[in-house]
Structure 1
Amino acid sequence: MSNSFAYDDAYPSPPSFGQKCSNALHSVFTKDFWIGDYDYSFLLPAIPFTSQTPKNPPFFSLNAKTPVLLALLLGFQHALAMIGGVTSPPRIIAASANLTIEQTNYLVSAGLISTALLTLINIARIRIPKTNYYIGTGMLSVLGISFTSVSVAPKILSQMYQNGYCPTASDGTKLPCPQGYGAFIATCCICSLLEIAMSFIPSRFLKRLFPPIVTGPVVLLIGASLIMTGLEDWAGGSGCTSRTAMCPSNSAPHPLYWGSAQFIGLGFSVFATIIIIERFGPPLVKTTSVVIGLVVGMIISAATHYWDRSIIDAAPVITFNWVHTFRLRLYGPAVLPILAMYIVNMMEAIGDITATSDVSMLDVDGPDFDSRIQGGILCDGTSSLIAALMTITPLTTFAQNNGVISLTKCANRRAGFFCAFILFCMGLFGKFAAVFVAIPSSVLGGMTTFLFSSVTTSGIAIIAQIPFNRRNRFILTASLTLGMGSILVPNWFSYFFTYSGNNKGLTGFLDAITLVMENGFAIGAFISIFLNLILPEELDSDMHNDSPGISSGATNAIVELTAVEPVESTVDNKQDSEKKKSENNGITEASM
């Protein structure tokens, strides 16, 4: 009998299912579950003009037991960091299709809801049965609406108006074209199969096919093409660029001519606020400087009577996906530029997942890292397919959250789940989306121009890592020749083809070529990929090299197109990351 008791003490039986449920229920009513012993002063801004010593918060790994309050606060911080990037693309694309205010309100809500639901999949990471492949990264890696589609959709919709696919009035006024928007998202849905297929290619081959000499100029060209749209909004509205008409319309609360000083001043209030926060704001507040700048511009514009309250009043209190639907139909001429868009999205995903892995103190090399890359790309492609069926444009991995992780030292997935929940609630309430639609174009333009400029800066940062030898200079010059040229002169290829027959297949093929040639990032991507494959590597790589060479991790230094916060911890700081891991070994936890 005594031997039996000794055996039971040495090898206690595992808890039963009932005991597990009882323990879990008991933990819900404890302080550790809700608040924990975390010092929340880490999240408070520093008091100006004092000699406060900066505090170093503890690190919370992916699956550490994080208090609910902390996860909720940081989830809200992540949501604020990405809200501008999620709500801007639907409004810009809806304006290109001349959709109604009601439809635009719906698209902003649908974008928030789709982003929230599909982010959950990316964070949770789902394994494909009976395989070693995954959908999702399993990290605090969020998805958002890709800004690449913002550079593609307006040109496609403009062509639809020119060839009669979208209706126009007798005086040439462009009428609402929901069928054009439906055709765009349907084509995106089909073309997403390319990114899904690329996710099964080993990441080392993708890095060789798309090195920084390819990704750098492409990201630069995307940013340059987007800046024009943002600046047109800043001056009064991208759809109202004539001095002969009042913007945004004659019936607006405070209509003015495009380019009026009042419009430019409203946009500058946003821009100036962002600069002030960057100079005087505490580190954690800087991650939401764009949103704070937008709020300041909203307050000033509301106080000076530029808002149209009827937009908010007409919006429903509660909404959801599929309240409005769009006819899904393939638009052949858009296939080539949209395929190029997905290649860019895939390149972004590699860089963003690498950055997230690094700030989360995970390996950025090896089988586990390759598995996260594969899962992230597959989630990008799958989410874009599902998003199209949810009436929204393609999604891609965002990088804004990397700055928040780096500052708060919390890479815990629970914060990501709360972020998705908050975004879902924002989309669920139609009045919230209507506020973003009602924002005067000049205020929104002040924010989006800054966001789009950060895209260009990301491209420059990638290019700066490239050895400037003769080969790379030639590839860069060739890709920018037509890429930048088509941005500065957008209709330069419009009259190249003169065919006017009834062969719709031939007409669609010629329209597709025209779209590619007039889309700066698409033609730039094709040229840089082609030249990188055919031009031999230089033997003397140090010749004319004024910048440091590319490290093994620098290939992945691609920043998401809406990122405005630099990642403080990079691949090159791997030794420092390992040191931090050992220091926080008592805090982090490897299990749920």
Structure 2
Amino acid sequence: METKSIPISTSENPSIVGEVEDLPSTSNWQYWKHYLTSRDGWIGDYDYLYLITPNIYPLNRRYKDVEPPFYGLNDEVPILLTLILGLQHALTMIGSIVSPPLALASGAFYLDSVQSQYLVSAAFITTGISTALQVTRVHIFKSPLYIGTGLLSVVAPTFDVIAVAMNYADARYKRGTCPTDENGSKLACPEAWGAMLGTLLCTVWIQILMSLVPPKVLHRIFPKVVTGTLLLLVGVYLVSSGMENWGGSSNCEGGTGYYALCPDIDAPRPLPWGDPKLIGLGFSVFVTIIIVEFVGSPLMKSASVILGLAVGCAISGATGYWSRDEIDAAPVGTFLWVHTFPLSVDGALVLPLLIMFVCEAVSCMPDILATAEISKVDIEGREFQSRIQGGILCDGLGSLISALGTSIPMVSQAGNNGVTSLTGCASRRAGWCASAFLLLMGIFGKFGAVFGSMPPSVLGGMQVFLYSTIVVAGVRVLALVDFSRRNRFILTASLGIGFMDIVSPSWFSSVLAYSGSNVHLQGFEEGINLIVETPFIISAVVGVALNLMLKEETSSRSVGSVLPE
């Protein structure tokens, strides 16, 4: 059935110009009747065998150098294909969704298994809501502003908050506001997560306000040399935390008492950190992801991370490293606010989180550009600029909704672009379907319990691979930078101060060590410490300052350069 795209332009409000979903050329009733009851509407003429054919000769001979048909943003996609690709986009996002809450629960605040499982479920629910909002692209009445990109652009928990949370929690344990046992081992500190949530609710507004700033201005203040540096440092920092889990758990690396063995002495088969058997469990995940990339079908390739986790879980379960007790005890259904945390606002977090949200507003721009490019829509002009504005605003509102739902801040990601490229489907219908699947995954409590109870080594194998993709994203952005002397100087200074935090996290601990009775001064100094000791935040401060202060060069080579050409 023929469809057509219609731009909206009304005399009542000529500033409202945008796209709407393709409208059927016949009446709505006739269109939906045909779409929902006909073979053409349900199956179409798509070659479904292509999606499941492994990349193994001679099975792949039929599809050599063959590209699937392309479905644009508003094209009519068969219902079966919509369901398959919606699930595929949801599966692609699972690694990005589960990793941040599990990293915070086990590596920062040491929450119990029930709270960890709840954070995973909450992350799925809030991701589904935010992604649906991003894909829909809601027009703000009688204004040129939008909420969302209107692309098959997914939203997921940001990895940037992990570095802030880990440094913040470590400071609280050191000063005794988070509990430890008699051996000094860290115990659960839900109050610290409550302080994070309360402060997130107060600071996320800066990202919402930044959506009103023209994207060209943001790009001038935060050029690629800054955003690429941020991504690179975040990835490297997180790889180190993922490796701690790969070795057995960050809790038991050098731990005593209850955490003398990994993940603890009550585990089914506790072992010392870095035991070859634990390393092997993580390696099973890592190597499975690589094998799938070589021989997997298009559907398998775009879900390689979840397949790697499945193999690691199967091996760990068969060899006795995984107990089903926590899964059996988990509720069948759950939702937001089943568990709550005592909200508060910690002044030490205000400055770091403000800077983090500023960085979030800028770091999503390359991902939106990549998604627009692969969706075959304009990547220049007024419409694209409105997509950037809508994406930044959607991320801010998504983070606000997420914090209200006791979950992690959100950011646009381009991790699903591989699915779009392999399957040729950029239709928003697949995005809405993916959102529905994500909501169901979150509401089904035992689904989150699977991830919350898996052995840390299995999780670590996935995290190292996943976090490395952030490093690669940073390198990709930096590859687009003109390596003039000025940009190389900014990059050198930014990376230098950021790598200091990674290789020597405590280098600044004695510089501002106030111990007096002035709690306001103490909170301010703790905020400064948190900024300096969080790699991507201090790097952003240095990079932005140098970018604004150093003049642009008239040529790519300057006399007297102190950097090698």
Superposed displacement of residue 542, structure 1: 5.4
Please state whether the residue corresponding to 1:118 is helix, strand or coil: helix
Structure 2 counterpart of 1:413 = 428
Measured against aligned partners, the alpha-carbon deviations of 1:128-181 in whole angstroms (never above 9, x if no partner) come to: 112110111111111111111112111111112223332334443322211110
Say yes or no: does 1:237 pair with 2:249.
Answer: yes
Structure 2 counterpart of 1:93 = 104
| Aligned counterparts of 2:149 and 2:27: Cα–Cα separation in 1 | 32
Structure 2 counterpart of 1:49 = 57
Superposed displacement of residue 238, structure 1: 1.2
Q: How many residues align?
A: 528
Measured against aligned partners, the alpha-carbon deviations of 1:100-133 in whole angstroms (never above 9, x if no partner) come to: 1111111111110111112111111111112110
TM norm structure 1: 0.86
| Aligned counterparts of 2:28 and 2:403: Cα–Cα separation in 1 | 41
Please state whether the residue corresponding to 1:144 is helix, strand or coil: strand
Structure 2 counterpart of 1:70 = 81
> In 2, are the aligned partners of 1:45 and 1:285 still within 8 Å (CA)?
no
Please state whether the residue corresponding to 1:256 is helix, strand or coil: coil
Superposed displacement of residue 220, structure 1: 1.0
Say yes or no: does 1:108 pair with 2:123.
Answer: no
| Aligned counterparts of 1:339 and 1:503: Cα–Cα separation in 2 | 23
Percent sequence identity over matched residues? 47
Say yes or no: does 1:356 pair with 2:371.
Answer: yes
| Aligned counterparts of 1:445 and 1:97: Cα–Cα separation in 2 | 17
| Aligned counterparts of 2:152 and 2:500: Cα–Cα separation in 1 | 39
Please state whether the residue corresponding to 1:246 is helix, strand or coil: coil
Superposed displacement of residue 396, structure 1: 0.6
Superposed displacement of residue 498, structure 1: 3.5
| Aligned counterparts of 1:272 and 1:228: Cα–Cα separation in 2 | 19
Structure 2 counterpart of 1:551 = none
Structure 1 counterpart of 2:503 = 488
> In 2, are the aligned partners of 1:240 and 1:248 still within 8 Å (CA)?
yes
Structure 1 counterpart of 2:129 = 117
Measured against aligned partners, the alpha-carbon deviations of 1:304-342 in whole angstroms (never above 9, x if no partner) come to: 100021111111011111101112211111112212221
Measured against aligned partners, the alpha-carbon deviations of 1:533-559 in whole angstroms (never above 9, x if no partner) come to: 111112112569xxxxxxxxxxxxxxx
Q: Which runs of 5+ in 2 are unaligned?
A: 1-22, 560-565
| Aligned counterparts of 1:519 and 1:159: Cα–Cα separation in 2 | 12
Superposed displacement of residue 248, structure 1: 1.0
Structure 2 counterpart of 1:215 = 227
> In 1, are the aligned partners of 2:50 and 2:63 still within 8 Å (CA)?
no
> In 2, are the aligned partners of 1:243 and 1:258 still within 8 Å (CA)?
no
Structure 2 counterpart of 1:199 = 211
Supply the AA of the counterpart residue of 1:56.
E
| Aligned counterparts of 2:191 and 2:255: Cα–Cα separation in 1 | 30
Say yes or no: does 1:388 pair with 2:403.
Answer: yes
> Which residue among 252, 258, 262 is the counterpart of 2:273?
258
> Which residue among 38, 41, 47 is the counterpart of 1:30?
38
| Aligned counterparts of 1:417 and 1:155: Cα–Cα separation in 2 | 36
| Aligned counterparts of 2:78 and 2:100: Cα–Cα separation in 1 | 34
Please state whether the residue corresponding to 1:493 is helix, strand or coil: coil
Map 1:564-583 → 2, pairs under 5 A: none
| Aligned counterparts of 2:547 and 2:395: Cα–Cα separation in 1 | 25
Inter-CA distance 177–28: structure 2 relative to 1 (3 Å threshold): same
Structure 1 counterpart of 2:345 = 330
Structure 2 counterpart of 1:314 = 329
Structure 2 counterpart of 1:557 = none
| Aligned counterparts of 2:28 and 2:459: Cα–Cα separation in 1 | 51
Say yes or no: does 1:451 pair with 2:466.
Answer: yes
Structure 1 counterpart of 2:197 = 185
Superposed displacement of residue 294, structure 1: 1.3
Inter-CA distance 42–53: structure 2 relative to 1 (3 Å threshold): closer
Deviates more, 1:45-54 or 1:391-400: 45-54
Inter-CA distance 47–277: structure 2 relative to 1 (3 Å threshold): closer
> In 2, are the aligned partners of 1:190 and 1:385 still within 8 Å (CA)?
no
Superposed displacement of residue 203, structure 1: 0.9
| Aligned counterparts of 1:535 and 1:352: Cα–Cα separation in 2 | 27
Inter-CA distance 53–227: structure 2 relative to 1 (3 Å threshold): closer
> In 1, are the aligned partners of 2:317 and 2:323 still within 8 Å (CA)?
no
Superposed displacement of residue 358, structure 1: 0.6
> Which residue among 351, 358, 383 is the counterpart of 1:343?
358
> In 2, are the aligned partners of 1:189 and 1:386 still within 8 Å (CA)?
no
Deviates more, 1:440-449 or 1:491-500: 491-500
RMSD: 1.8
Superposed displacement of residue 499, structure 1: 2.2
Supply the AA of the counterpart residue of 1:45.
T
| Aligned counterparts of 1:526 and 1:489: Cα–Cα separation in 2 | 19
Superposed displacement of residue 22, structure 1: 5.4
| Aligned counterparts of 2:110 and 2:161: Cα–Cα separation in 1 | 17
Supply the AA of the counterpart residue of 1:168.
T
Structure 2 counterpart of 1:21 = 29
> Which residue among 257, 281, 287 is the counterpart of 1:272?
287
Structure 1 counterpart of 2:478 = 463
Superposed displacement of residue 275, structure 1: 1.7
| Aligned counterparts of 2:502 and 2:245: Cα–Cα separation in 1 | 17
> In 1, are the aligned partners of 2:374 and 2:421 still within 8 Å (CA)?
yes
Supply the AA of the counterpart residue of 1:288.
A
Please state whether the residue corresponding to 2:284 is helix, strand or coil: helix
Supply the AA of the counterpart residue of 2:210.
M
| Aligned counterparts of 1:124 and 1:243: Cα–Cα separation in 2 | 48
Inter-CA distance 243–385: structure 2 relative to 1 (3 Å threshold): closer
Superposed displacement of residue 26, structure 1: 5.0
| Aligned counterparts of 2:475 and 2:55: Cα–Cα separation in 1 | 35
Measured against aligned partners, the alpha-carbon deviations of 1:162-221 in whole angstroms (never above 9, x if no partner) come to: 233323344433222111101102211221111111111111111111111111111111
Please state whether the residue corresponding to 2:411 is helix, strand or coil: strand
| Aligned counterparts of 1:386 and 1:165: Cα–Cα separation in 2 | 28
| Aligned counterparts of 1:360 and 1:169: Cα–Cα separation in 2 | 53
Please state whether the residue corresponding to 1:396 is helix, strand or coil: strand
Measured against aligned partners, the alpha-carbon deviations of 1:425-464 in whole angstroms (never above 9, x if no partner) come to: 1111111111101111011101101111121122122222
> Which residue among 272, 283, 291 is the counterpart of 2:306?
291
> Which residue among 143, 147, 150 is the counterpart of 1:135?
147
| Aligned counterparts of 1:102 and 1:147: Cα–Cα separation in 2 | 22
Supply the AA of the counterpart residue of 2:379.
V
Q: Which runs of 5+ in 1 are unaligned?
A: 1-14, 545-592
Please state whether the residue corresponding to 2:379 is helix, strand or coil: coil
Structure 1 counterpart of 2:457 = 442
Structure 1 counterpart of 2:562 = none
| Aligned counterparts of 2:490 and 2:506: Cα–Cα separation in 1 | 24
> In 2, are the aligned partners of 1:388 and 1:394 still within 8 Å (CA)?
yes
Inter-CA distance 20–262: structure 2 relative to 1 (3 Å threshold): closer
Supply the AA of the counterpart residue of 1:253.
P
Inter-CA distance 527–23: structure 2 relative to 1 (3 Å threshold): closer
| Aligned counterparts of 1:30 and 1:283: Cα–Cα separation in 2 | 27
Superposed displacement of residue 262, structure 1: 0.6
Structure 2 counterpart of 1:581 = none
Structure 1 counterpart of 2:18 = none
| Aligned counterparts of 2:250 and 2:472: Cα–Cα separation in 1 | 23
Extract structure 1 runs of 4+ deviating beyond 6 A. Answer: none
Please state whether the residue corresponding to 2:62 is helix, strand or coil: coil
Measured against aligned partners, the alpha-carbon deviations of 1:517-570 in whole angstroms (never above 9, x if no partner) come to: 1111111110011001111112112569xxxxxxxxxxxxxxxxxxxxxxxxxx
